[in-house]
Structure 1
Amino acid sequence: MKLIGSTTSPYVRKVRVVMAEKKLDYSFELDNVWAATTQVHLSNPLGKVPCLVMEDGSALYDSRVIAEYLDTLTPVCKLLPANGNGRDRADVKVWEALADGVLDAAVLVRLERTLRPQEQQSPQWIARQLGKVTAGLQIMSEKLGDSAYCMGKNYSLADVAVGCALGWLTFRFPEIDWRGDHPNLARLHDKLAERASFKDTVPFEA
Structure 2
Amino acid sequence: MKLIGSAASPYVRKVRVVLAEKRLEYQFVIEDVWAADSTISTSNPLGKVPCLIMDGSEAMFDSRVIVEYLDTLSPVGKLIPAQSRERAEVKTWEALADGVMDAGIAWRLEATWANRADTERSQAWMDRQSVKIENGIAAMAKGLGDKPFCSGIHLSLSDIAVGCALGWLTYRFPEIDWRANHGNLAKLHDKLMLRPSFADTQP
The aligned counterpart of 1:165 is 165
The aligned counterpart of 1:8 is 8
The aligned counterpart of 1:34 is 34
The aligned counterpart of 1:69 is 69
The aligned counterpart of 1:78 is 78
Equivalent residue for 1:87, pick from 72, 76, 85: 85
Partners of 2:165 and 2:58 lie apart in 1 by 28
Equivalent residue for 2:97, pick from 96, 99, 114: 99
Identity %: 61
The aligned counterpart of 2:136 is 136
- 3-state DSSP of counterpart to 2:32: coil
State the one-letter code of the partner of 2:194: E
Partners of 1:114 and 1:48 lie apart in 2 by 19
Q: Following superposition of structure 1 onto structure 2, how do residues 179-194 of structure 1 map, counting pairs within 5 Å?
A: 179-194=179-194
The aligned counterpart of 1:111 is 109
Count, aligned residues: 201
The aligned counterpart of 1:56 is 56
Give the Å deviation of 1:163.
Answer: 0.2
Per-residue Cα deviation, 1:63-96 (whole angstroms, up to 9, x for no partner): 00000000000000100112xx100000000000
TM-score if structure 1 supplies the norm length?
0.97
The aligned counterpart of 1:125 is 125
State the one-letter code of the partner of 1:113: A
Partners of 2:190 and 2:154 lie apart in 1 by 16
Moved over 3 A (4+): none
Partners of 1:75 and 1:7 lie apart in 2 by 27
- 3-state DSSP of counterpart to 1:55: coil
State the one-letter code of the partner of 1:187: K
Partners of 1:185 and 1:117 lie apart in 2 by 37
Partners of 1:188 and 1:34 lie apart in 2 by 33
Give the Å deviation of 1:120.
Answer: 1.1
RMSD: 0.6
- 3-state DSSP of counterpart to 1:19: helix
Give the Å deviation of 1:154.
Answer: 1.1
- 3-state DSSP of counterpart to 2:74: coil
- 3-state DSSP of counterpart to 1:34: coil
Give the Å deviation of 1:117.
Answer: 2.3
Give the Å deviation of 1:98.
Answer: 0.1
Partners of 2:77 and 2:117 lie apart in 1 by 46
- 3-state DSSP of counterpart to 2:104: helix
State the one-letter code of the partner of 2:140: M
Give the Å deviation of 1:39.
Answer: 1.1
Partners of 1:117 and 1:132 lie apart in 2 by 25
